[in-house]
Amino acid sequence: MTEEATTVRSIFFDSPADAVSALATAVRSGAAGDGVVDALGRMPDAGKKAVLSEVGSAAAGILELGMQDIFGQAWGKYTALRQAAVATAADPGSEQIVELASHTLSFDHQPGVDVHIGDLPPLPITLHIQLTILVQGLVAVVRGGRLLLVRTGSCEATGTLTIAGRQVAERQLAVEFPLSLSFRDGIPLAEPSDR
């Protein structure tokens, strides 16, 4: 799988339809689903199923977060990149090349979906995304406190996905990068005031 096609959803599911189906099923069969079904009261079963499917679709949409976003958040915590960013922010026009031979990124995210039914209080349904990404053979270019470019490498992502406290997916996946991955405006890792 290439980075350009890689989203959180594509790490766990082969297609958007698979994601919607799995998440809708998890919501239907868990405590969150019971809460939604109870709130729907006497609505016909077909209506209840439609609402739960919409919850699954909304949850699947949250999973479209791209790998650049994940790396941007994770690399901001990586010491060697942060040091290069602080140095280049303090010396405008300078550039540092940081070799990231092998390191591990962790990503932990808990977005949620609120289900609104009539005048009832919203019912929150939480997703929990945990990823561990082993990155090998990357070279990063840092200028002006920003990560601008990452040159060729590979990574392996391992993750678990839960919704409303129920594990929906667990997967390991190799991600192949293009020869270089550039970040349009750069990922800010430091400002001149960070000296």
Q: Is the C-alpha dihedral spanning 177, 183, 189, 190 positive or negative? A: positive
How far is the C-alpha of 29 from the C-alpha of 49, rounded, in Å? Answer: 12
Q: Domain total for the chain? A: 1
**132 - beta bridge partners?**
106, 158
The residue range of the domain holding 126 is 3-194
DSSP designation for 121? P
Tokens 């790396």 sit on residue: 71
How far is the C-alpha of 136 from the C-alpha of 72, rounded, in Å? Answer: 17
pTM confidence score: 0.70
Angle 129-160-154 from CA coordinates, rounded to 5°: 90
Q: Encode pLDDT of 151-187 as tens digits.
A: 767 778 899 998 877 788 899 988 765 556 777 788 8
Q: Encode pLDDT of 95-113 as tens digits.
A: 999 987 777 878 888 888 8
Residue 84 has pLDDT above 80, yes or no: yes
Nearest C-alpha neighbor of 129 from the set 174, 49, 54, 69: 69
